A and B are shown apart, each in its own frame.
Chain A
Amino acid sequence: MSAVRAPVLVLAVGNASRGDDAIGPLLAERLEAAIAMGTVGPQVEVCCDAQLMVEHALDVVGRRAVIFVDAAASDPGRVAWAPVVPARGGLAVTTHSCSPGQLLRLVEGTLGEAPPPSWLLSVGGHAFELGEPLHDETARALEVAWRRLVVELRALGVAVNDGEARGVGGA
């Protein structure tokens, strides 16, 4: 149940059946395909889940860098890139949520290790209804987000071929 870990983790969350919440799974799927085709190097590993949960702390720990990918509930169509730091407070009302910052705090507090440098790549969504397709503007933003993702992966030392970096990769 153990394997050699890639130094960089892309941790994408979302629900592919809830409109623009599919952003995370779609970017994860594209990255996995690119890794399988060799246009993106094996220095990055993809983890995709419906929601961010506490056990993801075990996926995060020991990485050189982590990129969270998620839809955002505001600014439809906007692609945002921001550093994530460990949260210093917060109280969950249900078991149904965990933010990237809370997860990093769990790594620090539970596992006793410094969390890796982390960033959040988010794309603002329009609608999140069950069974809805991806909004047209979100689909366009997805291309922008993909290019941003590969640029950042390259900056983190992941091998990315030139075509992929220009957004014309085969994946």
Chain B
Amino acid sequence: MPRPLETAEHPETLQRVVIEPVSRVEGHGKVTLLLDEHRRVQQARLHIVEFRGFERFIQGRPYWEVPTLVQRLCGICPVSHLLAASKACDAFVVGDGPVPPTAVKLRRLLHAAQVVQSNALHFFHLASPDLLFGFDDDVAHRNILGVLQDRRELGLQGIKIRKFGQQVIEILTGKRIHGTGSVPGGFTQPLSTEKRAWMRAEIGHIIDWCAQTTDLARDLFLQNLPAHGDFASFPSMYMSLIREDGAADLYDGGLRVKDADGGIVVDHVDVHGYEDLIGEEVKSWTYMKFPFLRAMGPEHGWYRVGPLARINNATFLDTPRAEAARVEFMAFGGGKPVGASLAQHWARMIDTLHCAEVIAALLDDDDIVGTDLRATGTPKQEGIGVIEAPRGTLLHHYRINDDGIITHANLIVSTTHNNTAMNEAVRQVAATNFDGRALSEGLLNSIEVAIRAYDPCLSCATHAVGQMPLRIELVDGGGELVDVLCRHEDGVVEQLAPTSTPRHWPPSGGAP
């Protein structure tokens, strides 16, 4: 696992190129490329400033409010936080005791729906333009609007799959956003037979669409080899939850880590021992930490999470069509984990198909309409909950005092797990594509494609209108801004003098 560009010996002598997506207000990322005296890339750093304040937001609150509260952390994956927090807070109600089977199945149903809708959004509206049209396609066409123009039915399927997932979430939580459903110790309300019937009627064609799109994702990846296979491809370890029998499990299980050759590094690690397994390195240039396996240290112990990790790690998938797709995927890698960042999209659709089939299986189980939903036991004062969120392993860890107030909170979100891997992806692209002469739209496009493969949570923050998706700055070693390239919301790229303000920035919003 090479890290040749991470730390230059004399960074003060390097030039700096900054690529900064300014989405919303404070939740954004930027890429800094430091050049040496020969204008070759020596360092590449993906900065994500979003992940601060989570723990402070949660501490001091009563634990029973936490599952609902943490949904405010992310507008894209609120259900993932709801479920991870519910699992962690189960300990405050049932201790080591079980949650009723029906409650677990309703949570699994909720989780599978969340993954389906999130993954569908990613593939159809984020990844497919790059894969269908190529990275060098005109930016005015290489977007979801271009997909709609050329492949309208594909875009429509994406919206309908996502809508179905959202409707299942609304049914189970009672609200479109920030509903409850899952609570510490169980689930709040049973599923009615009428709503179960509606979902059963819908899921068949959702599975078919997911299967068709899995084939499309495969074909799009394979049709442009070796370019797609080489792009931001690097060896790494992979971490995900795994069931006792080795099947991928997105809701529960132990942690498995595989190495780049497919060897199992650790297996079935109890998530309650995550602090012994995982350390978090702090670096001066970013708020986001860098998790690593303690036994291997920060340099060699980093890993990837997410769909690619889940498919690479699984011994098998417990649904037939997804399992067939997994076997095909692993055959492409010759039985070893697939390391190409763009294969993440193929893996993501296998993951989506798997979850759609899981929904069907859960709906076929009569337990799903059971009414035994809440359990009690001997409460504990520390709880840890781990799930596989759409972008990867999500961990919530809380401690409470005698009054049930949260005194300690630690969250490791998927984007944090992938921090080193995303830097590695950007480094690969930068080292290959930046010639050191000028900021170019081609470089910008390639770095965007690499970032998109991991879809980091860059803007969990707010969603005020007025955003500028991308800004590239060239800053010399002395800190002077020498060049600026902006990509505006409408996709137009604008070269600016270093002291200029981009057009329409900040946006005014219109006449009062």
Q: Which A residues are within 8 Å of any B CB, using their own CB?
A: 1, 13-21, 47-55, 57-58, 70-75, 78-83, 87-97, 99-100, 102, 105-106, 109-112, 120, 122, 124-125, 128-131
Contact = CB atoms under 8 A, between A and B. Distances in A.
B461 A80 contact: no
A121 to B, nearest CB: 10
B203 interface: no
Interface in B81-112: none
B510 interface: yes
B465 A96 contact: no
Interface string B137-158: 0011011110011001001101
B143 A89 contact: yes
B332 interface: no
A16 B148 CA distance: 33
Interface in B1-56: 21, 23-26, 53-54, 56
Interface in B482-512: 487, 489-492, 506-512
B417 interface: no
Contact of B465 (A17, A72, A81, A83): A72
A51 B461 CA distance: 10
B459 interface: yes
Given A80-B510, A81-B510, A99 B156 contact: no
A1 B171 CA distance: 10
B26 A128 contact: yes
A112 B69 CA distance: 38
11 contacts: A15-B75, A15-B461, A18-B461, A21-B461, A21-B462, A53-B162, A70-B465, A74-B506, A110-B156, A124-B509, A125-B462
Interface stretch (B238-246, B374-382, B427-435, B448-456): B448-456
A93 B23 contact: yes
A19 B142 CA distance: 35
A89 B458 contact: no
A89 B492 contact: yes
B465 A100 contact: yes
Given A81-B512, A106-B148, 13 more contacts: A15-B75, A18-B461, A21-B463, A53-B121, A54-B159, A73-B507, A74-B509, A89-B140, A89-B492, A93-B21, A93-B448, A95-B125, A97-B469
A109 B148 CA distance: 6
Nearest to B121: A95
A146 to B, nearest CB: 14
A93 B118 contact: no
B159 A128 contact: no
B140 A51 contact: no
A87 B456 CA distance: 25
Contacts of A58: 159, 163
A128 B162 CA distance: 28
A55 B159 contact: yes
B78 A50 contact: yes
A15 B459 CA distance: 12
B299 to A, nearest CB: 28
B125 A92 contact: yes
B76 interface: yes
A128 B490 CA distance: 24
B23 A94 contact: yes
Interface of B: 21, 23-26, 53-54, 56-57, 69, 72-76, 78, 117-118, 121-122, 125-126, 129, 139-140, 142-145, 148-149, 152, 155-156, 158-159, 162-163, 166-167, 176-178, 198, 448, 451-452, 455-467, 469-470, 487, 489-492, 506-512
Contacts of B451: 93-94
B106 to A, nearest CB: 18
A37 B144 CA distance: 41
A91 B455 contact: no
Nearest to A144: B512
Given A71-B465, A73-B507, A80-B512, A94 B143 contact: no
A49 B177 contact: yes
B490 A90 contact: yes
Contacts of A21: 461-464
B43 to A, nearest CB: 22
A54 B465 contact: no
A97 B73 CA distance: 15
Contacts of A125: 25, 462, 464
B466 A15 contact: no
A25 B97 CA distance: 38
A97 B461 CA distance: 11
Q: Which 10 A-B pairs have the closest CB atoms?
A: A82-B510, A50-B75, A109-B148, A74-B506, A21-B462, A51-B75, A89-B491, A80-B509, A17-B72, A71-B464
B126 A95 contact: yes
B23 A91 contact: no
Given A51-B463, A71-B464, A93-B23, A81 B511 contact: yes
A58 B506 CA distance: 30
A97 B464 contact: no
A91 B162 contact: no
A109 B152 contact: yes
Nearest to B155: A110
B463 A70 contact: yes
Given A50-B78, A110-B155, A120-B510, A130 B491 contact: no
B413 to A, nearest CB: 13
B509 A130 contact: no
A52 B312 CA distance: 33
B57 A130 contact: yes
